[in-house]
Amino acid sequence: MRFLSALLTFTFCIGISAQEPSKWEMLDNYLNLLEENNRFMGSLCIYKGDELQYERYLGYSSIEENKRANYQTKYRTGSVTNLFTAALIFQLVEEQKLSLKAPLSDFYPQITNSHKINIADLLNHQSGLHDYTAHKKFSKQKNRNWSKGELMNIIAGSPIDFEPGDKAKFSNTNYLILGFILERLRDDSYSMVLEDKICKPNILTNTKYGGRINTNMYEAHSYLFKNNSWEKLPQTDMSITRGSGAIISTARDLNVFIQKLFRRKIINDVSLDSLLSTTNKIGHGIFEYEYKTMKAWGHSGNIDGFQSHLSYFPEDSVSIAFLGNGMNYPLQDIITKGLDAYYEHPFTLPVFAGQAVELPNEILKKLEGNYTSANYSEKYSLVIREGVLHAQTRGHKSYPLTAYANGSFRFDPVGLEIKFEGDIQSIVPDQFVLHQRGVAFKFIKD
């Protein structure tokens, strides 16, 4: 599908006209650059009300089968699922089958502090429950089926992070539990409740509870750019994520969903007001975002190599949905450029200078070690895994760094660069400068 026509500006010079690119052509050029430089595979879609304004589908849903992405391609949405789960919970409240003040002990008294935690605490991440996905069991067993009992045993046996209501901290545990409560009160599976209460009534034909990826049903695999090529990633079994992250969808469907949500077609006025009631920009199933001087509401997510974002601007009924299955570039930059194009704010195209290289193991070994900075609280560890240098901070998973000829190592999904002095011919080990989000910190090896 091509895009809506835009006003074109012409410059006339001695009888010759030069046509400036339209806002959508500029966005096309930007996304083309990302695709050509192996920075992004996925979809971007913008609506205003019911009207589709722009859509692009880049890369492959399955590289191995040579299947290109299109408007039917379904991606795993990760924590964008939370927004659907919250809407389903508010529907129960509207039917007086559940109260936001109901204590968790009414359902799962075996969970620590359950008598102090209520449904509202779960919705806005103020429960203090530890994120179950951080448990060490999942790192090596993500691809097997997990029963509800196994998951509940992990939650019940985990320590609390803080007392309920003391603060807000995102935890997948909150929405896993809400999904279980939903199934109990509806006496049905999450999959069927989602279909009956949201998808069918709102004609979301490409949204559903996911399972094993089936490319014959237009479902995408996820990929990591490694060693100068896209490498398919293993799948997390959806029995782990459930109400916290099991939904798959298309960019079009996500826009339709959030447009109808804010038009009170899915929940009523009172429920929407409660959904948007925030503490430190965290609502009851939704987050508050800012773009320049404008405010938006939405949610982001990630699972395996998938990244997602969905947001809505109530000021002018504009929504934007992003679904990526191959990310080698910051998600936030892609979202911002999409909004810049829609609102006709000027932006520049990125320049991908430098050539990615493969460094011999003897050079990488010189760079391994722990590094500290006088101005940065976290210690960075550089380690070699499968011939690739990885960076890691305490308590977090490591991520692969792409090496460049100028002595730079980058992890573009979060806009991070580690720069050693010299180039690959004369790289100086033992210290580097970390660049991220416009700031720089010098690190020295311990």
Q: What is the mean pLDDT of residues 47-74?
A: 98
pLDDT band with cut points at 50, 70 and 90 for residue 398: confident
Q: Where in the chain is the domain with CATH 2.40.128.50?
A: 361-445
Q: How far apart (Å, rounded) are the C-alpha atoms in residues 340 and 316?
A: 15
Is residue 116 pLDDT above 50, yes or no? Answer: yes
Both tokens of 297, joined, read 């509401």
In tens, the pLDDT along 359-374 reads 888 889 999 999 999 8
The mean of the pLDDT values for the chain is: 90
What is the assigned CATH class of domain 361-445? mainly beta
pLDDT tier at 1 (50, 70, 90 boundaries)? very low
Instruction: Quote the percentage of the chain above a pLDDT of 70.
Output: 94
Across 134-148, 164-178, 398-412, the highest mean pLDDT is recorded for 164-178
Q: Please, what's the largest Cα pairwise distance for the chain?
A: 81
377 vs 97, residue with greater confidence: 97
Note the pLDDT tens digit of each residue in 377-394. Answer: 788 999 998 888 999 888
Three-state DSSP at 157 gives coil
CA distance 229 to 388: 13
Instruction: Return d(Cα 416, Cα 146) in angstroms, integer.
Output: 35
* Residue written as token pair 């996905």: 133
**Where exactly does CATH 3.40.710.10 map onto the chain?**
75-342
CA 358-364-367 angle, 5° bins: 140
What pLDDT, on the 0 to 100 scale, is given for residue 353? 64
- Strands 51-58 and 40-48, sheet pairing: antiparallel
Whether residue 219 contacts residue 249, with contact meaning beta carbons closer than 8 Å, is answered with no
Q: Which CATH architecture has domain 75-342?
A: 3-Layer(aba) Sandwich (3.40)
Rounded Cα gap, residues 439 and 429, in angstroms? 21
* C-alpha span between 22 and 183 (Å, rounded): 48
| Torsion angle of the four alpha carbons 82, 85, 86, 90, in this order, in degrees rounded to the nearest 10 | 180
Give the separation between CA 184 and CA 132, rounded to whole angstroms: 20
Per-residue confidence at 214, pLDDT binned at 50, 70, 90? very high
Quickly state the pLDDT bin for 438 (edges 50, 70, 90). low
Q: Are 82 and 90 in contact (CB under 8 A)?
A: no
* pLDDT tier for residue 16 given thresholds of 50, 70 and 90: very low
Residue of 220, 221, 215 lying closest to 234 (CA atoms): 221
CA–CA dist 85, 193 (Å, integer): 10
pTM for the whole thing? 0.80
- Give how far the C-alpha of residue 40 lies from the chain's centroid of Cα atoms, to the nearest Å: 13
